[in-house]
Chain A
Amino acid sequence: MRRIGLALGLGFLWAPILLMVLYAFSADRIPFQWGGFSLRWFAALAANERMREAALLSLRIAAGAATLATLLGGLAGWALARFGPFRGRTLLGALASAPLVLPEVVTGLSLLLLFVLAQGAVEAWLGWAPGRGAATILLAHATIGLAYVAVVVQARLAALDPSLEEAAADLGAEPFTIFRTVTLPLIAPSLAAGWLLAFTLSLDDVVVASFVSGPAGTTLPMLVFSALKVGLTPEVNALAALFLALAALFVGAAGLFLARRANGAG
């Protein structure tokens, strides 16, 4: 009974995706219609200059935002897990979790209003202000990513066995040495997971980016969104197949790495 439920659920999740990947290899111009095996849509994707530029911009924003988010979110997670009760803890906790629960349109609009007012203030002061685009998207995505990293890191730190750090201290290690040789290696996987989460969130976001971007910043999701408003194109099929292949490759590699590490340790 429960197996049937699981199979049905997984089938519902995967059927559209697998069909999409299958038809990415169809020569037919109409999506989800078989016209013989072909790689032409992958070639069309590679030749599409707007798509390539947008993908490159998205990757750069995602990498930058994820790195900023990991640094700031790591610090926030540390403060929340390790500082005990302090003045401002509730505020920090509430602000750090707000992006997790706010509707995307609210996050997008509120950040846009901030950027517009900041632009106005800078312009009144210097007579010139930088436009909105990649930089404002990066700031917005770093803020959203920060929230996710903080949660992951805080949970990991809270679950850490304190005796490991105490042992290092008993053996005479300096606080920074303890952090570098004991704590950091222990929380490194959660930092990596947080970075990856922030990276994928940034690559997937269309709503917040649409609000805070300017004429110069069209990300890949923004481009795909405007294409999908008209209808599905075979190029989007190919793009999804590509994403999924990369994700599968990554998960496979991570699994292999973990299995090898487990074998090495055991």
Chain B
Amino acid sequence: MRRLLILLPPLAWLLLLVAAPLLIIGLIAFAEAGPGVPPFIPPFGWAGGPVWRGSTESIGTLLGETYYLEAFLRSLLTAFVTAALCLLLAYPMALGIAGARPSWRLPLLLLVLLPFWAGFLPRLGAWIGLLRDGGWANGVLGLAGIGPLRLLYSNLALYLGMVHAYLPFAVLPLATALLRRDRSLEEAAADLGATPFTVFRSVTLPLSLPAAASAFLLVFIPAAGEFVIPELLGPPEAQLVGRVLWGEFFQNRDWPLAAALALAMLVLLLPPILLFQRLGRRG
């Protein structure tokens, strides 16, 4: 009885506000767009009995037009490059934190996490200010005799913003894993005459691979659906899925197509999500 009282409120809440909305997405993806509020005709109705009046038009549009296919491919590529760059930057950072004196570790971790509290949008604003025409970045390039270049609303700006936003996500799991690692294996390798680099390559690195995979996916999954960063920093042609969905919903008011895009994103992201959760359980 007491168990039920504990279990019921969160389970009911999650069924209503997580499970039901996802089912509705699947339903509206098969609705027909129409004028009115809301701008779609529900895919089933009642006329003496249940009637199906859905359509597969939105799904067909999605599969038929290369514009959408390209958006998906571009999103996956952008997420992949972002996650790889984050991993490349985060690994030495995590090694530095794990190798620091114990009293330094927590302050260093806090330094990695504290940028979050400057706010997600203000941090993007900082990049807008730095990269704009005639801004700081162009001033520095000018000293080197380069430019002026169009830096804002470019792929460079997009990746700077993405890596800046997601880097802490990659540092955290890596630092935790490297802090917890059993150093006796490395000592044994060193005692047996391995050089520091060999110890790193043959012991430290392989042992941290699950954490590195977690860090990669922790960046890849949200980056694949990112909307705000490409919208504020990226070039207009960087039509990633998140941006396309936003446009279909807010500008074109095509809710069924937006729902179909959401459904496709779910299907596409399910494998990395399941992989991430499997890694989490093992770690």
Contact = CB atoms under 8 A, between A and B. Distances in A.
B30 to A, nearest CB: 13
A211 B3 CA distance: 35
Contact of A6 (B19, B108, B265): B108
B14 A236 contact: no
B14 A120 contact: no
Contacts of B110: 251
A200 B14 contact: no
Contacts of A10: 93, 108, 111-112
B273 A101 contact: yes
Interface residues of B, number: 84
B6 A79 contact: yes
A206 B6 CA distance: 32
Contacts of B14: 76, 92, 95-96, 143, 146
A165 B98 CA distance: 33
A224 B3 CA distance: 44
B125 A19 contact: no
B222 to A, nearest CB: 7
Interface in B256-274: 258-259, 262, 265-266, 269, 273
Interface stretch (B21-29, B48-56, B184-192): B21-29
Specify which of A71, A76, A203, A232 lies most central, judged by the most chain B CB atoms within 10 Å of its CB: A232
Interface string B85-109: 0000111110111011000000010
Interface of B: 3, 6-7, 9-11, 13-22, 24-25, 28, 38, 89-93, 95-97, 99-100, 108, 110-112, 114-130, 132, 135-136, 163-164, 167-168, 171, 221-222, 224-228, 231-232, 241-242, 245-246, 249-250, 255, 258-259, 262, 265-266, 269, 273, 276-277
Given A83-B3, A240-B119, 15 more contacts: A9-B93, A10-B111, A16-B130, A20-B125, A20-B126, A101-B269, A104-B226, A105-B225, A109-B245, A109-B259, A204-B119, A228-B128, A231-B132, A240-B122, A243-B122
